[in-house]
Each structure stands twice: as C-alpha cells, then as structure tokens.
Amino acid sequence: MFTAVSLGLFDNLAGKPKSASKLAEELKLGSDALTRLLDTCVALKLAEKGKAGYRNLPVADVYLRRGSPDTLAGYILYSNRALYALWGHLEDAVREGSDRWQQTFGMPGPLFGHFFRTEEAKRDFIAGMHGYGQLTSPKIVRAFNLARFRRMVDLGGATGHLAMAACRRYPKLRAAVFDLPSVIEVAREYVQTARLVSRIELKPGDFFSDPLPEADLFSMGRILHDWSEEKIRRLLEKIYIRLPKGGALLVAERLLDDSKTGPLSALLQSLNMLVCTEGKERTLAEYAALLRDSGFSKAEGRKTGAPLDAILAVKG
C-alpha cells in the first residue's frame, strides 16, 4: 500500500479503468512488476480487476487518492518515507530507550522538522492528518456534553478539524486554532473550505513558549503522546493557569487498557512513538495522574470507538 500510494497508482486509477501496460507506460514502470503490485492491491481489497483493466475500490478512492478531501495519503507517504525506516531500528530503540532519527537519517529530531522539510511534504502531511481527523474528531466532540462552553482553543490544531467538528456540534461555540505559523497558513484554506471563517479564528504560536489565547475550553488531539512527563506537566500547568474556574481541557489520545496489554493498535502506536518521539501512549489513570499533578480536580475518560479516545479534565 505504501508503494502504491507513493507511485501514484490510486491517483491514476480514479475513474476509468486502465490496463497494467497502459499504467506502466504512463508512470514509466516495469509492466510485469507493476502487474504484481496491482494484483496484490486487488487481494488487499484496495482495487478491482476487470476486462477493461484495474480501478480503485471506494476505500482507495476516498482515503488513498491524494486529490480526495478525506485523503490519508500524506500520512501514508510520511509513514513510507520516515516511519518505515525508523521501525527497522526498533531493536536498538528498545535497547537504548530513545528515538532513531540520528541512526536512520543522520540527523536529530524533533520529528516535526522532518514533517515540514519541504512545502510539499508539509502540505501532504497536514492533509493526511486532516483525513485522520475526519475519522476521529466528530466522535471526540460527542464523547462529552460540551454545550456549556463558549470559547474553545485547539492547541496544535493543524487544519482545525477538531474545532470544525465542535462548532458543527455546538452552534453557540466559537473556536480558535493555535499552531505554528507555517501550519496556520495551510489551516486557513481548510477553514475557508468548511465555511467556518466566522466562527474559527486562526492564531499562530508555539504552545510551549507563547502566551495561550483566552478560552474556557482548551483541546489537544494527538499532542500529549509526543512528549515526556516533564514537558506534559509544564504544558498542562500552563493550560490550567489560563483557564477560568469551571473551564476544562479536552484531550484526544489512544488509551491503553489498565493492564497495558491492549488494545493492539495502541500498543503498536506506543512503539511507534518510541522510534520517532520522546513520548508514548498511556492509560487513563496515567493521564489522570498527570492532570491532577497540574491542578485539575476531575478527569473522566471515554472510549469512542474511533482511533482516538477522549478525556475531559475540569478546573475546580
């Protein structure tokens, strides 16, 4: 799948079917090798094969074609070009307990510098995260009743998919996306396309070093799992101080079971964080302890059935 996305097969198989020889000619690939790859995509139920040739099945058309509004192709391309190589050094990561950027690519982290190494790479990755957010954010904002909040700020909010889902769910809510200036440039296009410009502000900044905007609800999706406990506490304390009494923090992360033996997707993601960040996946109890240490009086978790679960922490 990584190779098929990287070669642009699903972009070229949208619409009218194509034979392997025609596609090989267009993409300057070996016909026999491409046929084997295409047949494997058929077996993976990503494409179908008929008398007229190959074409996408709906799942590939929606998630693997770069031109789709729900595409995950950017995240898949990053997984192919970076994460796949990093995982080749998992054994050393376990031995040393640290990420593998230096060993794999001859350069240190953090990972975000690699995400945004070129304008195209940045846009591809952000588009992929937007597609991922489309799968998760609507369920995150339904996990708790957020109707009492009036001003939500999504920290590290990327394209604003969580803010968009919240505004659609709660008509009286106003929101803002707070992210790095280079990300905000791209987010503006997504917010305009969603026709939510009047309800979602875009604020450039670094949540570790810059003052946070005013809000009675902060949110963070797939942020805390990137960092060490020390950095998480520093960020949570900053959020706690900025919130009014009764304000809250909504966290979207993959939750490990209390036994830490499942679910498998969360365990694999935790190993993924080992090879590429200083973070890891955690249990609800571990997140609740970090939140209590930072001043929050109450933290409740909900499994959503989506790739991410939800935690709501309230300032007493």
- Residues 50-64: pLDDT tens digits? 999 999 999 999 999
Question: Please, what is the average pLDDT of the chain?
Answer: 95
Average pLDDT (288-308) is: 96
Query: Checking DSSP bridges between strand 53-56 and strand 47-50, what pairing results, if any?
Result: antiparallel
pLDDT tier for residue 256 given thresholds of 50, 70 and 90? very high
Average pLDDT (156-185) is: 97
- Residues 266-283: pLDDT tens digits? 999 999 999 999 999 999
Which of the residues are catalytic? 225
pLDDT tier for residue 112 given thresholds of 50, 70 and 90? low
pLDDT tier for residue 118 given thresholds of 50, 70 and 90? confident
Q: Are 248 and 314 in contact (CB under 8 A)?
A: yes
Residue intervals in the chain for CATH 3.40.50.150: 127-314
Average pLDDT (111-121) is: 70
Average pLDDT (111-136) is: 80
Instruction: Give the per-residue pLDDT at 99.
Output: 95
pLDDT tier for residue 189 given thresholds of 50, 70 and 90? very high
113 contact partners, CB below 8 Å, separation of at least 6: none
Sign of CA pseudo-dihedral 93, 97, 100, 103: negative
Indicate the length of the chain as a whole number: 316
Percent of the chain with pLDDT over 70: 98
φ, ψ of residue 201 to 5 degrees: the values are -85, 155
pLDDT tier for residue 48 given thresholds of 50, 70 and 90? very high
Average pLDDT (78-99) is: 95
- The region, left, alpha or beta by phi > 0 then psi within -120 to 50, assigned to residue 249 is beta
pLDDT tier for residue 159 given thresholds of 50, 70 and 90? very high
Instruction: Give the per-residue pLDDT at 119.
Output: 83
- Statement: residue 109 has pLDDT above 80: no
More confident residue, 120 or 251: 251
- Residues 216-246: pLDDT tens digits? 999 999 999 999 999 999 999 999 999 999 9
Instruction: Give the per-residue pLDDT at 9.
Output: 97
**pTM (2 d.p.):** 0.93
Give dist(CA 150, CA 174) in Å, integer: 6
- Statement: residue 116 has pLDDT above 80: no
Instruction: Give the per-residue pLDDT at 115.
Output: 61
Average pLDDT (57-75) is: 93
Average pLDDT (98-117) is: 79
Q: Are 166 and 175 in contact (CB under 8 A)?
A: yes
Q: Residue 87 corresponds to which tokens in the numbers above?
A: 């995982």
More confident residue, 89 or 123: 89
Q: Does domain 2-63 have CATH number 3.90.480.20?
A: no
Instruction: Give the per-residue pLDDT at 52.
Output: 96
Instruction: Give the per-residue pLDDT at 285.
Output: 98
- Statement: residue 111 has pLDDT above 70: no
Q: Are 218 and 152 in contact (CB under 8 A)?
A: yes
Query: Cα separations (Å) of 8 from 55, 61, 124, 168, 171?
Result: 13, 12, 13, 34, 40
The one-letter code for the residue type at 217 is L
CATH of domain 127-314: 3.40.50.150
Residue intervals in the chain for CATH 1.10.10.10: 2-63
SS (HEC) of the chain: CHHHHHCCHHHHCCCCCECHHHHHHHHCCCHHHHHHHHHHHHHCCCEEEECCEEEECHHHHHHCCCCCCCCCHHHHHHHHHHHHHHHCCHHHHHHHCCCCHHHHHCCCCCHHHHHCCCHHHHHHHHHHHHHHHHHHHHHHHHCCCCCCCCEEEEECCCCCHHHHHHHHHCCCCEEEEEECHHHHHHHHHHHHHCCCCCCEEEEECCCCCCCCCCCCEEEEECCHHHCCHHHHHHHHHHHHHHCCCCCEEEEEECEECCCCCCCHHHHHHHHHHHHHCCCCCEEHHHHHHHHHHCCCCEEEEECCCCCCEEEEEECC
